[in-house]
Chain A
Amino acid sequence: GAVVSQHPSWVICKSGTSVKIECRSLDFQATTMFWYRQFPKQSLMLMATSNEGSKATYEQGVEKDKFLINHASLTLSTLTVTSAHPEDSSFYICSALIPGTEGNTIYFGEGSWLTVV
């Protein structure tokens, strides 16, 4: 069964509005979660690393004020795309590090398609 759940799977929003994507770890506590963006036919681009109870660490070139990441609990991290524009349309995917597993395995959510119109 799913280890990491992401919601919503699909979302359409109007340009200028904000949209929130949730990433939940199921049946385990995830102290670290990761947010990626994937452009068509490309690899995953890490946007930020989210640690529970602290500020997210953003990768170079990722706008912190535009992509707000909150990791308020051990089972939930959220990505909020603020003042969305059509160029923000993309596939966003989260992952969670499962502590205690050999190699601290990382599992991925199902991903979220964002379309900004």
Chain B
Amino acid sequence: AQTVTQSQPEMSVQEAETVTLSCTYDTSESDYYLFWYKQPPSRQMILVIRQEAYKQQNATENRFSVNFQKAAKSFSLKISDSQLGDAAMYFCAYRSASRGAQKLVFGQGTRLTINP
């Protein structure tokens, strides 16, 4: 079974600075998807960024980018120019690309605090 590990329960960063959240995963599959979700105090799960395993290029979405290292099974999230609104729980998630295996496997989460 696939597992996702987030080794940083909490992180903090100064506003406008850059922070990197770590995520590693374990799988025997070669085709899969990786995601970062943000959960603010409202508890709404918001998709931040998605990476397809077959793509070598790292995904970027404005201030958010990932460092996808397939061989190392690592998928870190970099937030540039941190803003107060970035404060939230961040969850890394894995999903198989196989038909019928659509569920997301989540990591434990990292609570990100932004210091003004």
Binding site for B on A (CB under 8 A): 32, 34, 38, 42-44, 46, 49, 91, 93, 95, 97, 102-108, 110-111
B102 within 8 A of A: yes
- Interchain CB contact under 8 A, A103 and B33: yes
Q: Is the CB of B45 within 8 A of A43?
A: no
User: Number of B interface residues, CB 8 Å?
Assistant: 19
Residues of A within 8 A of B42 (CB): 110
Is there an interface contact between B102 and A97, defined as CB atoms closer than 8 Å?
Answer: yes
Given known contacts A103-B33, A103-B52, A106-B95, is B106 in contact with A43 (CB within 8 Å)?
yes
Residues from chain A with Cβ under 8 Å of B33 in the complex? 103
B26 → A minimal CB distance (Å): 16
Contact residues in B for A32 (Cβ distance below 8 Å)? 102
B45 interface neighbour in A46, A102, A104, A108, Cβ under 8 Å: A108
